């Protein structure tokens, strides 16, 4: 028993060295891409004329995506399949849970996030901000709930495609041969 406990805590030591700092030019490309995406998403969500609090939530979810697709464009989580698929799958899970289950908001929220993770694993579309997107489907305003399955298309799919276009433009402008996007599509 003691050895199992020791083995468990040994896993928390960390076994790799910290990564080296990024080049300043790469940091600037990441910042530029995120800036342009967030401005575009803000304009887009304001155009939809939804509740300002919904815009806040949506921008938060897309902001987390921006960290991945601009700050770490080579990660699997950042690739188009994961980025767009993760948001779509998670929104679908959230909308289905909200429409067909009638539990306390806490339970619905926990189900949306946990089942979206399961669904993203099963579909190989893991994108961590998708968990937030599933949660928005549950805790959003009545305007979000009234969209129902349309939420998948607008603002989620359309916003994701907007960000993807900006990612394709910005992430491939660098002269660094290691900075390109995407690593793969499907």
* 1 found inside a domain: no
Q: What are the angstrom distances between the C-alpha of 172 and each of 6, 35, 70?
A: 46, 16, 11
Average pLDDT, the chain: 93
* 4 found inside a domain: no
pLDDT at 116: 99
Q: Residue 128 belongs to what domain range?
A: 25-171
Collapsed DSSP state (helix, strand, coil) of residue 39: helix
How many CA atoms within 13 Å lie on the side-chain side of 54?
Answer: 22
Q: Rounded to 10 degrees, what is the CA torsion of 148, 154, 160, 165?
A: 160
pLDDT at 15: 84
pLDDT in tens, 27-82: 999 999 999 999 998 888 777 666 666 666 677 899 999 999 999 999 999 999 99
pLDDT at 136: 94
* 11 found inside a domain: no
Total domains, the chain? 1
| CA torsion through residues 150, 140, 160, 84, sign | negative
* 159 found inside a domain: yes
Collapsed DSSP state (helix, strand, coil) of residue 80: helix
pLDDT at 9 over 80: yes
Cβ atoms of 115 and 142 within 8 Å: the answer is no
Structure-block tokens of residue 160: 């994701």
pLDDT at 154: 87
pLDDT at 1: 84
pLDDT at 60: 84
Classify burial at 40, counting beta carbons within 10 Å of its beta carbon; exposed 0-12, middle 13-18, buried 19 or more: middle
| 151-179 average pLDDT score | 94
pLDDT at 50: 63
Phi, psi of 129 (to 5 degrees): -65, -15
pLDDT in tens, 105-164: 999 999 999 999 999 999 999 999 999 999 999 999 898 999 999 999 988 999 999 999
| 15-35 average pLDDT score | 93
Name the percent of the chain lying above pLDDT 90.
76
């Amino acid at each position: 028993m003691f050895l199992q406990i020791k083995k468990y805590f040994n896993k928390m030591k960390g076994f790799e060295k910290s990564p080296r700092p990024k080049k300043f030019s790469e940091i600037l490309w990441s910042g530029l891409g995120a800036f342009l995406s967030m401005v575009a998403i803000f304009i887009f969500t304001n155009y939809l004329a939804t509740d300002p609090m919904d815009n806040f939530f949506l921008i938060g979810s897309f902001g987390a995506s921006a960290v991945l697709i601009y700050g770490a464009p080579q990660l699997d989580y950042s690739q188009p399949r994961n980025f767009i698929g993760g948001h779509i799958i998670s929104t679908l899970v959230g909308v289905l849970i909200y429409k067909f289950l009638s539990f306390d908001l806490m339970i619905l929220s926990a189900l949306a996030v946990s089942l979206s993770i399961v669904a993203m694993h099963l579909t190989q579309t893991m994108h961590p901000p998708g968990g937030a997107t599933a949660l928005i489907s549950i805790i959003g305003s009545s305007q979000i709930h009234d969209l129902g399955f349309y939420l998948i298309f607008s603002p989620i799919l359309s916003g994701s495609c907007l960000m993807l276009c900006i990612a394709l433009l910005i992430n491939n402008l660098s002269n660094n041969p290691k900075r390109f996007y995407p690593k793969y599509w499907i």
